[in-house]
Amino acid sequence: MTADVYPQPSRPPGPARSPLSRHGRAPLSGRVLAGAAGPLLLGLCAVLVAGERAYRFHEMAGAQWLVSHALGLRTLLLEAPDAPVLYAGDASGLGRGIALTTGCSSALLIAPLALLAGLLLLFGSRRPSRVLLGFVLAAALVVAANLGRLTLIVAMQHRYGEEGFGWTHVLFGSVLMMASGLVALLLFLLLITRTSTRDAEADAP
């Protein structure tokens, strides 16, 4: 009886590895996306800073739409020299207007996010789709929070007059925007730093 020696069977080939190698080189589609979106986000940051007055007018126009449809109030939006002013009231007349100054605009929070996202796309190693998704969600959260704050200020001023305006604008509105800015930043960081199973498999030796 003879004994034949058979070579150890080789392991079957596993699934193809993700294009993102462990050396950090992104796939071609990701590099193209980052190369196109990165400069656009940096440009958006510049536009928000240079054209923040025009942005404030459009932001106040959004608040006017919410006040008219959510609160059912009559509104009038005027483009004053320094800031857009929104007046709201009922059939008896319009109350005191509120002005949207630079310090109360969401542009101050969106511009740094656009700058950070643009730099990450151009010089970072994070997945471009994650960076873009994080920026879009964070920016949308900030815009929604500020529109809600402006609508609430109008509602409280219409209901309680100057005292309602003061409490809502100085206290509650400031806390709301600080909280929304913090949550937006944490959401952005969470999305760009989260490691998925696919990423872990791609980075495995």
Q: What is the mean pLDDT of each run of 10 residues along the chain (205 residues)?
A: 49 49 56 85 95 94 94 90 89 85 91 94 89 95 95 90 84 89 94 64 45
Q: What is the pLDDT of residue 82?
A: 84
The pTM of this model reads 0.78
Q: Which residues have a Cβ under 8 Å from the Cβ of 66 and sit 6 or more positions away?
A: 147, 148, 150, 151
Burial class (CB in 10 A: 0-12, 13-18, 19+), 12: exposed
Q: Could you count the other beta carbons within 10 Å of the beta carbon of residue 174?
A: 13
HSE (side-chain half, CA atoms, 13 Å) at 120: 21
Q: What is the pLDDT of residue 168?
A: 86
